[in-house]
Structures are given as structure tokens and as C-alpha cells.
Structure 1
């Protein structure tokens, strides 16, 4: 996506993992982040269902309530003060280490993101400008709360996703630079 173009590989990833049939009371979106770090390093942060605060800056703590951190596990995420939520209960729905796909659902909590389902995928692009970079795509589907609009709901969710992806890019690059200077 250098220069705003979506490559055939990116379009395939979007088609395969990031398309949803939305009902009239739902909205969804996807965002793409180019990360200046190799895929295995970025994946090592994403795949830690038990430690989302490793890159998500609005999370204070995370506790696994059920499971071993693998598919079907349930976590309780405590959000930083000042956010319009305190706690989120989330279930890991898919974790594919070969295809670099993670899916989770919010199944409870004191937030407005009802029936929120997230998919994040990572892949490497080929070609000039992509050497050593990872492409992260995150998409979601969420119910539109009563009294809110789809635009408002997506705007709120997009802001959180964008901040998380930016933080992932920054932390991954810092880790990669630290590895390469040692």
C-alpha cells in the first residue's frame, strides 16, 4: 500500500479474512498499517492473547479467566482510566500461526461495543519499498447501539483500532531497532 495502492496480495487478504455481511444494525471497517519490522517479530506481539497491553496503549492489565491463552480462552481486559469503559471480556476465536490470523470477540464488559468481532492479519508484501516490512490489516464488525449512528460507532471504533495499529508499528520498530543494534 505504499503510495496508497492495494496490492493483489493485500486484496486477497482482505477478501479472504476481512469481509463480513453486515446486518442493518451493524457497522464495520478495516484499516491497514505498514510496519517497519519483520513479520515474525510483529506476530510475536499480536499472538499474545494473554498480553494485549504489549502493544495496545489503552490497556492497564489483562487476566486470562478461562483457557490457556489458546482458541476458546477468555480474557478480562482492564482499560486505562479516562476511557469510556472500564472492563472488557474477550474470547479468542481463531489463532493461526501459519497464516498469521487472529480473531477475537468481545463477549461482555461495560463498554458500548456490543457484539464486537475483530480480525487482524499480517503478511509480507513483495516489491520495492516493502523489504523487511509487515502489512497489518485489522477489521471489525460491531452492533450500532440504540441512540447512536453507524458513522458515530465506526468513528469511535476506528479511532481505537488506528491507535492500536500505530502503537503496534511504533513498538515493533523499536524492538527491531534494539535487536539490530545489539
Structure 2
């Protein structure tokens, strides 16, 4: 899984990482939140609002502007959808502007099922990225910042989808 979709070639001024989250919910449910390019705040707690600037949010080249919550070292981010594959469960996004230091940021998110006894059991979400290391910052600091944001987002995704799944099982 990681080798196929999450191998990035890093330039000398770049860093990257891969974060993995296992979620106790079926893949279609998890994918239903992730694939909402026009609604990242459905699970990303640092996002206050999102508006589409170009495209439908499901097609390559769609562009969104994301407003971030206060307290972060940025207020907005402009992002482009580079790939949305509903068959392979892959989403690729690039940051193309904003008032932050994440220059040339590109991420890949893929979902994979874990089957137990022939039935759907869990979803593994893998998110990897590559980004330029800003002047005056180190590779470690840059990766720590990005890893922390992604980790928080994936933990939030797990909490939300696991609750949705459990609530759907109640009779």
C-alpha cells in the first residue's frame, strides 16, 4: 500500500512523512467524509470554513479556499484537487497558496480495508506528504508541524466515523 501510492521523491530542500490511522468503521463510511473536498471541516478540526473557487469539488483541478481557526500560524489556505479516485479510494491534494509556510505541499491519502473472516472490519487510512522546508526552519520542525496537523485530523476522522458507525448499529 505504502510503496504503491506513498513513495515521494524528495528534493534536498524538502521533507515528507507518512501517517497511518486504523479506524473501526467500514471503508465506504470513512471514504464518504474524506472525499468531500468541498467540506474538509466535516472532520478536520482546524478548518473553520471552506469555499469552492473552481470546479465541483469532485473533479481534478477543483480549487478550494480553506479558512483556518484562530491560533494557527495561518488564516487561510488555497488548495487544488489533483486526484479523486472513487474506485481505488485515493485523494491527492496540493496547496497552491495561502498565508502559511507550507510551500509546494502535496499530499496523498489512500484507504484500505482490513477483512476479518471475510467481512469488512476496519479501514486503514494512509496519508503521506512532501513539502518544502521553509527558510529558517529545520526538516524536523517542518515534519513535526505537518505530522501533528495530519495526526489530529486522522484521529478526528476516526472518532467521527467510529461514532457514526456505532450509531448506525443501534436498533
Place the TM-score, normalised by the shorter chain, in its bin: over 0.9
Q: Is the 8 A contact 2:115 2:122 kept in 1?
A: no
Q: Deviation string for 1:120-170 (max 9, x for gaps)?
A: 000112347x95210000000000000111011000000001000000000
What is the alpha-carbon distance in structure 2 between the residues aligned to residue 117 and residue 71 of structure 1?
14
Q: Could you tell me the TM-score, scaled by structure 2's length?
A: 0.96
2:70 is equivalent to residue 81 of structure 1: yes
| 2:30 aligned residue | 42
Q: Deviation string for 1:64-88 (max 9, x for gaps)?
A: 0001112110000000011111000
Which portions of structure 1, spanning 4 or more consecutive aligned residues, are displaced by more than 3 angstroms?
none
The 5-angstrom pairing of residues 52-63 of structure 1 reads 52-63=40-51
| 1:98 aligned residue | 87
| 1:167 aligned residue | 156
Q: Is the 8 A contact 2:53 2:62 kept in 1?
A: yes
Q: Deviation string for 1:49-105 (max 9, x for gaps)?
A: 000000000000000000111211000000001111100000000000000000000
Number of equivalenced pairs? 169
What is the alpha-carbon distance in structure 2 between the residues aligned to residue 71 and residue 168 of structure 1?
23
Task: Choose the corresponding residue for 1:154, options 131, 135, 143.
Answer: 143
Aligned-pair Cα RMSD in Å: 1.2
What is the alpha-carbon distance in structure 1 between the residues aligned to residue 71 and residue 2 of structure 2?
33
